[in-house]
Amino acid sequence: MRSLRETVFCNLTIEMRIIFCALLIVLFCSLQAQHVAEARRPWYHNTTIYQIYPRSYYDSNGDGIGDIQGIIQKLDYIKSLGCETVWCSPFFKSPQRDFGYDISGYTEIAPEYGTLKDAEQLITEAHKRGMKIVFDMVMNHTSDEHPWFKESASSRTNPKADWYLWRDKPNHWRSQLRTKGWHYVKARNQYYWASFLPFQPDLNYRNPDVKKAMFDAVKFWLAKGVDGFRLDMFNSIYKDSVFRNDAASRKVVSEHYDTKGFKHSITGSVNQPESFDFAKELRSVCDSFGERMLLGEVYGNHPMVRRFLGKDRNDGLTLVFNFEMLRFKMRAKYFHHIINDLERDIPRPYAPVYVFSNHDRRRSMKRLHGDMAKAKLLHMLQLTVRGVPCMYYGEEIGMQDYRMPYSKSLDPIPHQYKNVPRFLVDLAGETMNRDEVRTPMQWDTGTAAGFSKTEKTWLPVHTNFRQVNVEKEERDTNSLLCTVRALLNLRKTVPPLSMGTMSLLQSKFFPKGVLAYKRLYGKEAVLVIMNFTKDKKEFDLSGNWERLFGINSLDGLDKGKVSLGSYGGIILRDTGALNFK
């Protein structure tokens, strides 16, 4: 008996056979071309990022403060987790009034963190393990204790007089914190501009010497082998050249992407056209050292983010955080919407950055009210979606915010808003005291949760460290840590998860509260299905799929029927359709 294939082929005319073969060749070539294009994709578009707040990660010398040697000692842990790139918040010379985001020496290391040698060793040790290491560059401003500022502030005629932004009279701009941004200096009888806190004066990038000095600092670290930079407050780099006043705004509360709010619209001190050009210039400096990551802290809507990335081709910053997700809602509809918008606005070859926690904002676990099941699902989304996941230290074990009084905070921010009652900030689902999200990493149940040999740590250890710590979760295969590790491992070994295209599947084909998307790489297809509700879900699925991973044993596929437990999720691999068998 003839097979179906033979029957179909024999009934075709010669011409049709030729066309059929040509189509097959075209299909084959385009799949090959996709492989080649993917192989050429820069590493930073396929990587996974782990953010370390050095002061809180691991204290190697027992002074209660985390340090660079501490990070080096924990690189094996990060490697075992499966994260490929480590981003360290700043450890450069600084008076530490904003814990390193106020730099007074760009090529020096703050003594409490170590030495230049330690920083070099960190780069070497990361590379030895096949990992990438990214430092934090604060280009927008320096500390007011930086020698550049001291000189600039000393008179109106010194050689650095024009290195910062000085004016005889303030205009009515407000800082990013919506507080006073102009600050008086008697020696010059003038005001300087600070986009953030008063002790962080903004540099004047219209002065070519400033640009050169900062590019020299960047080159200094690139020459030492660092794999790139996270860029602080990158959309504030340039200000309006003639300091035009900002407009008023009707908006009372601002949103993440919005420069309007609190009755004020910040326009003159953000998103200036020169900043987009500066991104390209910085990119070319970095490119001359090879493929280096430039990860921008930019608050803006997607079109604005695209301008920083390079509007028509990705020749600006290589990545920009998608901060909208710092206030995520644990709902399928919410993520459907977010993914849909990101796929439309930041399509390949650009890559969005999925980030749910950082050193400035509430931890994701706080937003999830400590619910481990939800945390596993959130990580599943972060690690299977198209884009670069960025995890904050401790997120992998479910560390939570540690509530502390605003009045005693080491973080300078709460002291700026002494009159704002805490319950209002709580109502908004935020915290002003960033100490709460920067507590020491919880390694084990020992002294200071294994973070330090001393109990006197710079910030207190969260009281939940006996339940939430690395050692305990490593022993429990059902823990969040093991789930995250398994997902990261899967991402490495199943190419569609890190490199594939992405298509969201229409929600009408799935029960309410279920989110599904397909990742496709060459001939391989993977389907991710997630239940964002507490109710069990069961439904039919057509096609030939096999289960690669499930959050719980309940999450499975049997004879074409998918079952998902409460906040469950599965990853399936296509065993048929595209394999031409």
3-class state of residue 322 by DSSP: strand
State the amino acid at position 156 in one-letter form: R
* 52 neighbors 393 (Cβ within 8 angstroms): yes
Tell me how far, at minimum, the Cβ of 356 lies from ligand NOJ, in Å: 15
Tell me how far, at minimum, the Cβ of 24 lies from ligand NOJ, in Å: 52
CB neighbour class for 410 (10 Å; exposed up to 12, middle 13-18, buried from 19):
middle
- 84 is a site residue for ligand NOJ (CB under 6 A): no
Please enumerate, as own/partner, the contacts of 70-79 that have beta carbons within 8 Å and a separation of 24 or more: 71/122, 72/118, 72/121, 72/122, 72/125, 75/125, 75/126, 75/129, 75/131, 76/129, 77/470, 78/50, 78/131, 79/129, 79/130, 79/131
- 360 is a site residue for ligand NOJ (CB under 6 A): yes
Please identify which of the residues 38, 84, 227, 297 carries the catalytic annotation: 297
Task: Compute the 3-state secondary structure of the chain and give helix, strand, coil in percent, each to the nearest 5.
Answer: 35, 20, 45
- 98 is a site residue for ligand NOJ (CB under 6 A): yes
- 38 is a site residue for ligand NOJ (CB under 6 A): no
Please identify which of the residues 232, 246, 401, 436 carries the catalytic annotation: 232
- 125 is an active site residue: no
Among 88, 203, 210, 233, binds ligand NOJ (CB under 6 A): 233
- 232 is a site residue for ligand NOJ (CB under 6 A): yes
C-alpha closest to that of 205 among 271, 136, 274: 274
Tokens representing 141 are 């401003």
Tell me how far, at minimum, the Cβ of 137 lies from ligand NOJ, in Å: 11
Among 196, 335, 402, 545, binds ligand NOJ (CB under 6 A): 196
- 299 is a site residue for ligand NOJ (CB under 6 A): no
Among 57, 58, 101, 193, binds ligand NOJ (CB under 6 A): 101
Q: Which C-beta is closer to ligand NOJ: that of 232 or that of 574?
A: 232
d(CA 13, CA 367): 64
- 55 is a site residue for ligand NOJ (CB under 6 A): no
Residue closest to ligand NOJ when measured from CB atoms:
101
- 359 is a site residue for ligand NOJ (CB under 6 A): yes
- 168 is an active site residue: no
Looking up tokens 């490199």 gives: 499
- 53 is a site residue for ligand NOJ (CB under 6 A): no
- 144 is a site residue for ligand NOJ (CB under 6 A): no
Q: Which C-beta is closer to ligand NOJ: that of 51 or that of 60?
A: 51
β-sheet bridge partners, residue 261: 264
Tell me how far, at minimum, the Cβ of 441 lies from ligand NOJ, in Å: 18
CB neighbour class for 215 (10 Å; exposed up to 12, middle 13-18, buried from 19):
middle
Within 364-383, the residues that bind ligand NOJ by CB under 6 A are: none
Among 138, 332, 381, 459, binds ligand NOJ (CB under 6 A): 138
* 135 neighbors 175 (Cβ within 8 angstroms): no
User: Which residues in this chain contact ligand NOJ in the complex, by CB under 6 A?
Assistant: 98, 101, 138, 196, 232-233, 297, 359-360
Residues serving a catalytic function are 232, 297
